[in-house]
């Protein structure tokens, strides 16, 4: 039974985008751009955006949510107008090591959530004005009922009948994870004392700083994205089994502030070291958790339901990186829909990458890999652009063999043998189950 008002008719749409987070909005954006670049249509493409959270339109205060920052080294031309900063070089730091890495021909790009939402809103508005897009809004779906020809999406604001559904809501995997961690973080956009020397190097962001205190399981690092010499996004991140409480993130950020030469206390109280620069304002705070798991996911959730984002396997298991895969999937899905094809998203990463991710994830969770040493060695012993392309799933087999040759061989070999035994037991168990039935 639907919980919609009785007098609200069911609307028919071409596509229902269920979930208006990163994955859903990326798909909508590529649809809008594809419509604008394509030929005229006899009628607009009817798209419904289904979510309780409003990110596209400014709120009563005139602002869009400042809820996340995305970083990527892939070009992602569709998102380029929303890029706030980009860099040709980054730093990776660890105890006793400071790597200055030239990432060319790539660039490290920073996008704020609110800027990307504004870009999607503007491009969708252009597509609507052109008569090629009709965009409906509905609150979050209470049910999605798949069918052979149409999908019924039930919402409190009225039901939808869609030819296709792009669903990015959290869901259970096809096969549960053997190993699971979280990439969880808290970041602050800080401004420092204008009377003090600038503490940040605007042209040298810190990609990973492993000098932070390490957790018992997994790893931690800080990163720093300078907007200018006195303003930066300063973030504390962990790959570990569970999120921290408020005090835990405060401690992590305080420790990292000190490493950057900032007063660790958020209110700037003196702590005996006059060399530290005072933070005079925190302009924004972001916090989140991204699953890192070796589970198996599928983009095909039914006859006419396709999964996007983390739900469809777009999150890299060994790092939590997602944005580049969202852009690749969004572009492919939009192109298929506009060509009248099945919008099944392509696999976000090659199967061999998922296997390597599973080994690294298991090593971090079990303590078989020293996480800071592993990632620092990877960057120190390989061309930086190769490492970054690998993290995005864009390397060749030959490049991957070169990367693997710089990993700790004994640890990785042990993890590979253990993984092989687990897979063999799983296949044997499945074969015995089939023979019984």
In this prediction, residue 275 carries a pLDDT of 83
Convert the pLDDT of each residue in 157-197 to its tens digit.
999 999 999 999 999 999 999 999 999 999 999 999 999 99
In this prediction, residue 393 carries a pLDDT of 84
Q: Return d(Cα 205, Cα 233) in angstroms, integer.
A: 10
In this prediction, residue 1 carries a pLDDT of 43
Convert the pLDDT of each residue in 201-252 to its tens digit.
999 999 999 999 999 999 999 999 999 999 999 999 999 999 999 999 999 9
User: At 2, is the pLDDT very low, low, confident or very high (cuts 50, 70, 90)?
Assistant: very low
Long-range contacts (CB closer than 8 Å, 24 or more residues apart) made by 145-150 = 146/301, 146/302, 146/303, 146/304, 146/305, 147/303, 147/304, 148/303, 148/304, 149/304, 150/304
Convert the pLDDT of each residue in 380-436 to its tens digit.
999 999 999 998 888 999 999 999 999 998 998 888 888 878 777 777 666 666 666
The residue ranges of DSSP E strands in 146-204, in sequence order, are 151-154, 160-167, 180-192
- Do residues 60 and 73 make contact, with C-beta atoms less than 8 angstroms apart? no
Convert the pLDDT of each residue in 273-316 to its tens digit.
778 999 999 999 999 999 999 999 999 999 999 999 999 999 99
Rounded to two decimals, the pTM is 0.91
Tokens of 298: 């599928």
Convert the pLDDT of each residue in 14-59 to its tens digit.
999 999 999 999 999 999 999 999 999 999 999 999 999 999 999 8
DSSP 347: P
Q: Return d(Cα 238, Cα 215) in angstroms, integer.
A: 8
In this prediction, residue 345 carries a pLDDT of 95
Q: How do strand 11-18 and strand 160-167 relate by DSSP bridges? A: parallel
In this prediction, residue 99 carries a pLDDT of 97
Q: How do strand 206-209 and strand 219-228 relate by DSSP bridges? A: antiparallel
* Residue 4 clears pLDDT 60, i.e. is over it: no
In this prediction, residue 3 carries a pLDDT of 53
Q: What is the mean pLDDT of residues 67-96?
A: 94
Better-scored residue on pLDDT, 9 or 311:
311
CA distances from 424 to 31, 360, 421 (A): 43, 19, 5
In this prediction, residue 434 carries a pLDDT of 65
Query: What residues contact 302, with CB distance under 8 A and at least 6 apart?
Result: 146, 151
Alpha helical stretches, state H, 339-408? 351-366, 371-380, 384-391, 397-404
Q: Return d(Cα 308, Cα 31) in angstroms, integer.
A: 14
Q: Return d(Cα 2, Cα 18) in angstroms, integer.
A: 17
């Amino acid at each position: 039974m639907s919980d919609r008002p009785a007098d609200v008719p069911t609307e028919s749409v071409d596509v229902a985008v269920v979930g208006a987070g990163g994955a859903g909005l990326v798909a909508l954006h590529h649809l809008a751009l594809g419509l604008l670049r394509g030929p005229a249509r006899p009628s607009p493409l009817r798209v419904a955006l289904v979510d309780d959270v409003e990110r596209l339109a400014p709120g009563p205060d005139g602002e869009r949510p400042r809820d996340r920052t995305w970083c990527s080294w892939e070009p992602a031309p569709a998102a380029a107008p929303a890029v706030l900063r980009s860099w040709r070089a980054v730093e990776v730091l660890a105890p006793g090591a400071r790597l200055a890495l030239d990432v060319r021909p790539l660039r490290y790009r920073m996008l704020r959530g609110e800027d990307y939402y504004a870009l999607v809103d503007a491009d969708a508005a252009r597509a609507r004005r052109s008569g090629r897009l009709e965009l409906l809004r509905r609150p979050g779906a209470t049910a999605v009922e798949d069918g052979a020809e149409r999908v019924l999406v039930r919402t409190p604001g009225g039901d939808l009948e869609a030819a296709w559904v792009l669903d990015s809501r959290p869901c259970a995997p096809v096969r549960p994870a053997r190993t699971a961690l979280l990439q969880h973080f808290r970041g602050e956009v800080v401004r420092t004392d204008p009377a003090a020397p600038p503490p940040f190097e605007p042209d040298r962001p810190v990609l990973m700083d492993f000098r932070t205190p390490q957790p018992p399981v997994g790893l931690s690092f800080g990163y720093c994205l300078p907007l200018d010499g006195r303003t930066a996004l300063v973030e504390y991140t962990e790959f570990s089994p569970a999120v921290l409480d408020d005090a835990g993130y405060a401690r992590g950020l305080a420790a990292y502030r000190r490493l950057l030469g900032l007063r660790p206390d958020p209110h700037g109280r003196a702590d005996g070291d006059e060399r530290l620069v005072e933070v005079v304002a925190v302009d924004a705070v972001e916090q989140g958790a991204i699953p890192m798991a070796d589970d198996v996911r599928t983009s095909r959730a039914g006859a006419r339901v396709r999964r996007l984002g983390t739900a469809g396997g777009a999150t890299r298991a060994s790092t939590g990186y997602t944005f580049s895969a969202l852009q690749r999937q969004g572009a492919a899905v939009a192109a298929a829909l506009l060509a009248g094809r099945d919008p099944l998203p392509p696999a976000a990463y090659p199967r061999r990458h998922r296997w390597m991710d599973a080994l690294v994830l298991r090593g971090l969770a079990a303590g078989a890999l020293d996480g800071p040493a592993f990632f620092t060695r990877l960057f120190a012993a390989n061309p930086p652009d190769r490492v970054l392309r690998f993290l995005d799933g864009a390397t060749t087999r030959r490049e991957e063999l070169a990367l693997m040759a710089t990993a700790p061989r004994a640890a990785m070999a042990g993890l590979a043998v253990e993984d092989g035994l687990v897979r063999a037991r799983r296949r044997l168990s499945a074969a015995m189950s089939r023979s019984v039935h």
